[in-house]
Structure 1
Amino acid sequence: MKKVTKTITSVVGGGLIFGAIGVSASESVTVDPGDTYWGLAQNHDDVSTEEIVEANDYDPKMLPVGAEIVIPTDETSNGEAGQDMVTHTVQPGNTFAEIAAVYDGVTVDDLERLNPDVDPYSLTIGSELVVVDYASEDDTSEDYVYHTVQPGNTFYEIASVYDGVTVDDLLEANPNVDPYLLIIGSEIAVPTE
């Protein structure tokens, strides 16, 4: 059975220049073995194969099994503007290196940075990994330094090492990290401002 996620995202791009922000509705579908862009278009009303190809960064001849494919549901959605992130559903035998090789420009370091709470040596089948985060690409990385978690570290201890940083700052900067289950070797974003 296909997993379909409906999302609503803002299309900011050129709209800000003209004083308007468009809203784009889209769905995402997890790729199963044998899926094609054409087949996905046939299963969704009012969307062409070309629109699906434009809304995604995958080779149309080889869709990666487990990848999330964006299905635009109106004309304002295409390319990166129609999605905030690309995720990959972990399949049996997947490794960070194998997943990174499937996506253009993605490295193992990118996967580790985008998924700090995931143990790369113990991937859970069916879990979602962030592969590309377009929202974070807009942020300047100079707003954060990264602290590598050591044995015994807590958010309180990490905050006390950095001037002016509170536990609440760390919680806000790391919304996907469970402060009670810090993984040794993972990186915690520490705000610099």
Structure 2
Amino acid sequence: MSTSYYDENAELFFADTAYVDLSDGRRRFVEALPPGGRVLDAGCGSGRDALAFRDLGFDVTAFDGSAAMVAKASAHTGLPVLHLDFAEVAWRETFDGIWANASLLHVPRCDLCEVMRRLRRALVPGGVWELSFKLGSGERQAHGRLFTDLDEPGARALIAEVGGLETLAITLSYDVRPGRESEGWTNLLVRRLG
């Protein structure tokens, strides 16, 4: 997965995302977590959500594949954000929840199952995982980035292919950033089995 777009556009991406209110989107995830639980913000971008989870009393670990975004997120959150690619995730049964908001959508579809299995292993049995993809189907290139888009049938097929996960909810939402209100998102909440 290339991070060059984020390395080259860190200032713009940070300004565009760091202060977007996603509290509604975080609510169902937070409600499924134990108080003070361990949360992994996977592909944390600006650090917006890692900061929100920390402020809610969770024990937060955050990482991003872009060195420039790691620096921005560390400065924004005060957390020691890790510079890590999804393919390097090696935690085992460590986290009560994983938050992967608009991050896995940049993983090529051919690699997505293996990446998701790595993340699934990082969850404790019964742990929950929120992930989101742009609404659509298939892969596409836009502004120098690869996107793997999913609709509800594609999301269900992916979860079945990954295995070891129970789907708790699939919802559709629309982007809350100004000027992007027509962009749809497929949001999944899943739980690790066994």
TM-score (norm 2): 0.30
- In terms of Rg, which structure is larger? 1
Structure (1/2) with the larger strand percentage: 2
More relative contact order in 1 or in 2 (CA 8 Å, sep 6+)?
2
Structure (1/2) with the larger helix percentage: 2
